């Protein structure tokens, strides 16, 4: 099968330039390692400097090529530094994986203070937008590109997290669909995985006596299947960025052992 004309290079380019955020641990680290194993050059970004350097160390020990940038991706200067480093080191940006995120406290709206709302929305929605906006000129110039977002079951339903996280992940779902429509004619695809419960380092600092956790906890406990692995989520991310998914655009892919089907 011929590669579609809308995506002439990215499906077959031997050593793509890939930015992975949240790459210090969990799904982000697994994705960074998977891209590098496939021959891609990886710019790993995370707030956790020691963690992201360890990810890069693992890639280089295995013979791959990776660089690290540490900083808060909710800050424009860090976003600019990440993109500038990828362009300078690797010549452009072929794939952006917007994976970094934080969890809320499962708080219901009346329990959500300004600090919780602002932090979750800034990290989980605004930061991916800022990074996407920063890489788009490079992808537009190249005539190709892949944007892959780590969403959540909370972006598909109302009973998987608190008010802030649910709002942020629904925002990501809408952003992905808008990007797919806006840039498909320019050879740029945007897709999202929606992980179910996955064994990562992300925890929930919830108050057991709060209203939100008591509602959400019972719903999650009654409907989830098994706990997934970071490698399983990373495999879906890598596939969405591959030539095998060249006709997949604007998709929300649940990776959740059927939880979204319940």
Instruction: Report pLDDT for 210.
Output: 79
Q: Are 182 and 250 in contact, with CB atoms under 8 Å apart?
A: no
Q: Are 68 and 22 in contact, with CB atoms under 8 Å apart?
A: no
Examine the pLDDT at 262 and tell me if it is beyond 90: no
Instruction: Please give the torsion angle defined by the CA atoms of residues 212, 213, 218 and 223, in that order, rounded to the nearest 10 degrees.
Output: 90
Instruction: Report pLDDT for 14.
Output: 58
Structure tokens of 162? Answer: 């608190």
Instruction: Report pLDDT for 215.
Output: 78
Encode pLDDT of 95-113 as tens digits: 999 999 999 998 999 999 9
DSSP string of 62-108? Answer: TT-EEEEEES-TTSHHHHHHHHHHHHHHHSS-SEEEE----------
Examine the pLDDT at 7 and tell me if it is beyond 70: no
Query: At 220, is the pLDDT very low, low, confident or very high (cuts 50, 70, 90)?
Result: confident
Encode pLDDT of 9-44 as tens digits: 444 445 999 999 999 999 999 999 999 999 999 999
- Taking residues 184-212, report their average pLDDT: 84
* Distance (Å) of CA 149 to CA 16, 191, 192: 18, 6, 5
Most confident of 195-204, 207-216, 226-235: 226-235
Could you give the CA distance from residue 14 to residue 157 in angstroms, rounded to a whole number? 38
Encode pLDDT of 109-123 as tens digits: 999 999 999 999 999
pTM: 0.90
Query: At 139, is the pLDDT very low, low, confident or very high (cuts 50, 70, 90)?
Result: very high
Q: What is the third-level CATH fold of 17-257?
A: Rossmann fold (3.40.50)
Question: Closest Cα partner for 196 from 260, 147, 148?
Answer: 260
Min mean pLDDT across 44-53, 78-87, 145-154, 209-218 is at: 209-218
Q: Given CA atoms 101, 253, 176, 70 in this order, what sign does their dihedral have?
A: positive
Running DSSP on this structure, what letter comes out for residue 188?
Answer: E
In this structure, the number of other CB atoms found within 10 A of the CB of residue 110 comes to 9
Running DSSP on this structure, what letter comes out for residue 160?
Answer: S
Query: What residues contact residue 258 under an 8 Å CB cut-off, 6+ apart?
Result: 225
Say what percent of the chain tops pLDDT 90.
77
Q: Are 152 and 165 in contact, with CB atoms under 8 Å apart?
A: yes
In this structure, the number of other CB atoms found within 10 A of the CB of residue 114 comes to 7
Could you give the CA distance from residue 203 to residue 152 in angstroms, rounded to a whole number? 15
Instruction: Report pLDDT for 214.
Output: 67
Instruction: Please pick, among 165, 173, 237, 254, the residue that the annotation labels catalytic.
Output: 165
Between 203 and 133, the more confident residue is 133
Encode pLDDT of 152-179 as tens digits: 999 998 888 999 999 999 999 999 999 9
Encode pLDDT of 247-261 as tens digits: 999 999 999 999 888
Could you give the CA distance from residue 126 to residue 18 in angstroms, rounded to a whole number? 20
Structure tokens of 146? Answer: 């892949």
Is residue 183 flagged as an active site residue? Answer: no
Domain ranges of the chain: 17-257
Exposed / middle / buried, residue 113 (Cβ in 10 Å: 0-12, 13-18, 19+): exposed
Could you give the CA distance from residue 7 to residue 101 in angstroms, rounded to a whole number? 29
70: helix, coil or strand? strand
Structure tokens of 86? Answer: 């990828």
Min mean pLDDT across 196-200, 220-224, 231-235 is at: 220-224
Q: Are 172 and 128 in contact, with CB atoms under 8 Å apart?
A: yes
Examine the pLDDT at 202 and tell me if it is beyond 70: no
């Amino acid at each position: 099968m011929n590669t579609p004309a809308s995506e002439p290079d990215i499906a077959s380019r031997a050593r793509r330039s890939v930015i992975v955020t949240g790459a210090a641990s969990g799904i982000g680290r697994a994705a960074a390692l998977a891209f590098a194993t496939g021959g891609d050059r990886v710019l790993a970004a995370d707030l956790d400097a020691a963690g992201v350097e360890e990810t890069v160390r693992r890639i280089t020990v295995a013979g791959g090529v990776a660089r690290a940038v540490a900083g808060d991706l909710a800050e424009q200067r860090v976003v600019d530094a990440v993109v500038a480093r990828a362009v300078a080191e690797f010549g452009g940006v072929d794939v952006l994986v917007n994976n970094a995120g934080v969890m809320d406290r499962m708080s219901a709206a009346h329990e959500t203070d300004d600090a919780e709302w602002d932090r979750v929305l800034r990290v989980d929605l605004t930061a991916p937008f800022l990074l996407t906006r920063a890489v788009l000129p490079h992808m537009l110039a190249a005539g190709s590109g892949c944007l892959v977002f780590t969403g959540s079951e909370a972006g598909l339903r109302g009973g998987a997290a608190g008010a802030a996280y649910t709002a942020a992940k629904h925002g990501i779902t809408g952003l992905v669909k808008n990007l797919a429509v806006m840039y498909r004619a320019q050879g740029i695809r945007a897709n999202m995985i929606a992980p179910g419960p996955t064994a990562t380092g992300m925890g929930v600092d919830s108050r057991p006596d709060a209203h939100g956790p008591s509602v959400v906890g019972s719903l999650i406990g009654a409907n989830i299947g098994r706990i997934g692995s970071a490698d399983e989520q990373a495999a879906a991310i890598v596939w969405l960025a591959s030539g095998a998914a060249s006709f997949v655009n604007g998709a929300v892919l649940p990776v959740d052992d059927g939880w979204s089907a319940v």
